[in-house]
Structure 1
Amino acid sequence: MESLFVTGRVVDLILVLVVAECAVLALWPRLRGAMSLLDIAALIAPGVMLLLAVRAALTGAPHMLTAAMLAAAFACHIADVARRRRFKAPDRP
């Protein structure tokens, strides 16, 4: 079990689950209004970048790489929030 963390493989396993989640979201029945692929990517990207930052930290990657992944996660999050605000339906009285 310890080797899963030392090698960063635990993050790889989590990323496999994230890919499975993306597949479920993409194939979700249209009955409840499936998300577009762009919506799914915007939703998942910040978390994926955070997972990659954790993997970099666990495997002893250069600190600048970890910092870059964290900055990318923040940028993805801000882009997702901005996108959601822009496409939000207007409030109805």
Structure 2
Amino acid sequence: MSELFASGHAADIILAVLFIEAIWLWRRGWKARDLLGLLGPAALIVLGLRAALVGADWPWIAIPLALALPLHLVDLANRK
């Protein structure tokens, strides 16, 4: 189990589940813009997690985490 996390494959599994969820929701009529707002921040956070798990330099961790917040805020603004 520790190899699953040390290799970053745990994050890959989460990203695959997010992708499957996006397809499932898209086939049920969700617009791509709404899916990006809903699942985009989660995918960016998981990318930051993956970078941290594999020991990447700090910018590879910080950039996806920093991009998740504005995308989340745009999604919240669009929901009003």
Poorly superposed stretches of 4+, deviation over 4 Å: none
| RMSD between superposed Cα atoms in Å | 1.0
| TM-score where L is the length of structure 1 | 0.80
Give the structure with the higher percent helix.
2
The TM-score, its normalising length taken from structure 2, stands at: 0.92
Count of matched residue positions in the alignment of Structure 1 and Structure 2: 80
| Alignment partner, residue 15 of structure 2 | 15
Unaligned ranges ≥5, structure 2: none
Give the C-alpha shift of residue 65 in structure 1.
1.7
Match of 1:31 in 2: none
Shift of 1:51: 0.2
Sequence identity percentage: 34
Question: Which of 51, 55, 76 is residue 81 of structure 1 equivalent to?
Answer: 76
> What are the Cα deviations for residues 2-31 of structure 1, in whole angstroms up to 9, with x where unaligned?
111001001001111111101110112xxx
Q: Greater Rg, structure 1 or structure 2? A: 1
Give ranges in structure 1 of 5+ residues lacking alignment: 29-33, 86-93
